[in-house]
A and B are shown apart, each in its own frame.
Chain A
Amino acid sequence: EDQVTQSPEALRLQEGESSSLNCSYTVSGLRGLFWYRQDPGKGPEFLFTLYSAGEEKEKERLKATLTKKESFLHITAPKPEDSATYLCAGTGGSYIPTFGRGTSLIVHP
C-alpha cells in the first residue's frame, strides 16, 4: 500500500526564518511527486511536480527537491503570506495520487 507522510504537522516561523517541510513516501513505481498549497476554505493550488530523484524546482521563495525516499519543500525568507497548509502527494502505477495529511505553516511578522 502506498503511503505518504508529512512532517512536521505544524510549523511556526518568524518572517525571514528559512526552513524545510518533509514528505516521506513509499509509492510503488513513483510517476510523480506533487506539492500543493491550500489556504483555509479553498481548494489546493498546484505548486510543483517532481519526476525523478535529484530533480529540483523553484518558484519565488519555494524550492522543492526529490530523493528516492523523500521530498523537501524549502522555504527561504518566508513572508506572512506564505502561511498555508502544504500538501504532498505521490502517484504510482495506479495513476491515483496518495496524499499526506499536510503541514500547516504559520509565518509571524
Chain B
Amino acid sequence: DGGITQSPKYLFRKEGQNVTLSCEQNLNHDAMYWYRQDPGQGLRLIYYSQIVNDFQKGDIAEGYSVSREKKESFPLTVTSAQKNPTAFYLCASSIPSGLTDTQYFGPGTRLTVL
C-alpha cells in the first residue's frame, strides 16, 4: 500500500540532545513537508522540499534542520537550539503544481523533552 510512514511514534529527548525524526513515502510525490502541531494551534510549517537536494525554511525553522537526499525520504533533526521542542510532529507529501496540491500526512511523532 502507498503511504507515508513516520518513526518513531514516540520520542524522548534529554536537554542538549539532537534527535532525528524519520519520514518516508512511497507515493512518488515530489514535495515533502514538516509541520509542528501544539494544542490549540494550527499546523505550523517547519521546512519543505519540492525536489531532491533542495529545501526551504517554513515559518518556524529555527532550531531544526532537514535533508533531502532521496525522493522518498525527508528526515527532520531537532537540535539543542530548539528551546521548546515538545510537540506533535507531522510529515506530509504532495505533488506540487499539479492538478491538485492535496497533502497527505503520516501518522506523526510525539516528541517529549525530559
Contact = CB atoms under 8 A, between A and B. Distances in A.
Interface of B: 4, 6, 31, 40-43, 45, 48, 50, 58, 88, 90, 96-97, 100-108, 110
Contacts of B45: 96
A42 B41 contact: no
Max count, chain A CB within 10 A of own CB: residue among B4, B6, B103: B103
Given A87-B43, A99-B43, A32 B103 contact: no
Which label, helix, strand, loop or mixed, suits the secondary structure of the B interface?
loop
Nearest to B50: A95
B76 to A, nearest CB: 14
Contacts, number: 52
Interface residues of A, number: 22
B103 A41 contact: no
10 contacts: A31-B101, A36-B105, A43-B90, A43-B107, A44-B105, A46-B102, A89-B103, A95-B97, A96-B48, A99-B42
A49 B100 CA distance: 8
A95 B56 CA distance: 13
A95 B96 contact: yes
